[in-house]
Structure 1
Amino acid sequence: MTEIINIIDDTEVIDNRYYSPTSGVLLTGDNTTSAYPLTRLSAGKYYHYSNIGENFSFGLVIFDDAKGFVKRVTVTELMADGYFQMENDGYVGVSVLNASLNRVALVEEKYGSYLITPSSPLNTIPPHLNIKKKIIKTNTVIVDKNGNGDFTTINAAIMSIRDDDIMNKYTIIINPGTYNEVIDLKHKRFISLTGVNKKTCIIRNDNGTYEESPIQISGEAVIKNLTVMSTHDNNLTLDPAGNKGYAIHADYNNGGNGGTLIIEDCVLISYNSSALGCGTYADQTIECVNTEFISTLPPNYLPKYGAVFAHSSNSAATNQHFKMRNCKITSNSDYSAFFANSDNSTLNFELINNNFYSSVNGKSDESILESKNPIYNARSFGNNVSKLNK
């Protein structure tokens, strides 16, 4: 029997992901799906096979040679013809139900007539093809101020990483110390930061400006077990009316690639503005878990957005999510938090068991500033501000 080469990388599977049918972005699933890494294909016809009668995938997503989204090929189209056409050189992404792992193959056109016979239904995978599942590789880099790690500064560790991607993620472990740095992760998508102890692992900036928020981040990453502080100790003439530094600023488009940012078991403090300032984009989720947000903005300072400021994209965008669970939000201003939509898009808020407090309005409904009717989804409950519960 002729050996058939499966074009799909049969050593790599991305767990709990699927390719968006409208944008091609890798989205987080509900633990029932997996995705294969993008596969480079030349222009031509390709057959797509799976076990008989199984709804094996959500369809194929085709990208151009620069990995820009081109179109989706639906399951119906694949089942009707058994093949799809690459009009130009590019890439293809395949998402599968976990039940169909090890049962999917892409093969070149030359094998089509061999596999499909009058007695063999379309999309039947040959029994000797086997796709193996592999856990995503995660690399660890250690930062220690005293020289007992790989680097003494966090930015030096970040600059050393040049190959981060969905299959090759990095976690920077931060040992105890105060790291007075501005951490730039705006264009590094798969680098996470984890402290060994949030009481002793501190990232801070003392200039207080908007451009110098201590952590500036986008992409798919985890910020965990850290204290992050923005003060104006070095800038006593900071303009009371202008935008000023958050502890974490997460409002960067990331090239339209979506993803999930998780902030977990942290303490975020800003003496200048909100502790967290974030904006979402298409296919993006920002999730905060077991984290304390503190804003000690002086009463005569603006803007008064509370300790958490979260807003949707100013451009047309879908599938935007902001989630908070078991968090404490405390502000010295009129509002504990500011939740906002834009004229062009909507952010879905999921708020569970959070404690909000404003020194002016306490835990009343007036302690939450809103703009353009933010949506609190049906899972929102257990919050101490009544209007946030559904």
Structure 2
Amino acid sequence: MLNSTTFRARASVVAGILATAFPGVILFALPGLFIPYWKTALPASNAQLGWVTTFAVLASGIFTYVAGVARGRWGTRAMYVISLALQLLALALLLIFPRSLAAVYAWAAIAGTSTTFAYSPSLSAVQEWFPLRGGLVTGLINVSFAGWAALLAPAIASAVVAFGFTGTLYILGAVIVVFSLAAIALSTPRPLEKARIAELAELARANTSGPVRTSATVGQAVRSASFWQVWVIWFAAGAATISMLTFAATYSSYLNEHGAAINSVAVVTAFAAGNGLIRIAISFILDRVGPIVIAALAFFAVGAGYLALIFLQGQAVLTIVALIAGIGLGTMFTTAPSLLTPIFGFKYFGQIFGLVFAGYGIFGALAGPMLGSTLEEYIGFHSVFAYLAALGFLAFVTVLALGRTRARVLTSPRL
């Protein structure tokens, strides 16, 4: 029979998997799947549709820090309730205003915000229950956050054909409610969560090194070189990888107009699959291999992939590069906790992660899908791909620099 601690620990993982499932679908699948419909129904230009992904990512960047602070005050269960309410509100806007570009932008912003109240609190919760197996449990949450998008992208595309856009939204709403209520029921009640945090604080006082290292404050973190190196990685890698979610639709449309038969759903599915599958692989090897080697390989591949699009075109190469971009995004998310918590501790993880997330969610969103879509209208896709390749290589170089900084910090009692 499971004791109470074991049950709560395992339940926190299951709750996190359920809570992050559809926020991940919203962020990593729906913009790419719905953009072709919106381009016909609204209509809208590629630059205008580029703002859909931008609004979703921008909102997640702005509110991840807020979610970290709120979770510290009210607990994980309250965050899941907020996430559910925001997801349903976002869907309601699309149902009420199906042919409004403003409503689409509002949907993206509210839906992006909903992801922050599920993802960051879930990462914090499972790390508190499994401080010695942080790579594995955060990997499982990361798999859910992206894996469902890969699994459901073809089904959602088929549902749009079979039931129409409106019918698909109703189906999504019903499934979101079921998953979210189950997550809320399994999440740890606030009093027990506070008791667990206090227990971890006692362990930290007894052992100032290792997995329960004394926590740095937010102010201490932002004054450190390692924090800003991680921030630059999230900015550059985030901008380069999430841009593919927009270009999967717009570049596919461009190639189709010029005689190449491209299936954009296959490209979006490849992106979602790479984003999800790499998180499964990393969850099993992260604690042994470490995040630096994994991240360096992934971000170098992202840069090389975008360079390949300058010289090659067609279904196969675009699908492969979308897969690589998804792998890069999944790597960025999955390695972040293992980069941050050994240096900065657990207590303020939500807030520190929120500030790092802003590198991707705010600045990366503007520098990636928004700027990339705008530049495409003036300088063409190939020049934009060169720009995105440069961002991928910047992330690669910064990871190598972080490896040296991280090794020095972890052997020092101070940040």
TM band (smaller chain): under 0.3
More helix by share: 2
Highest CA radius of gyration, 1 or 2? 1
What TM-score do you get using the length of structure 2 for normalisation? 0.19
Which has the higher relative contact order, 1 or 2, with Cα contacts under 8 A spaced 6 or more apart?
2
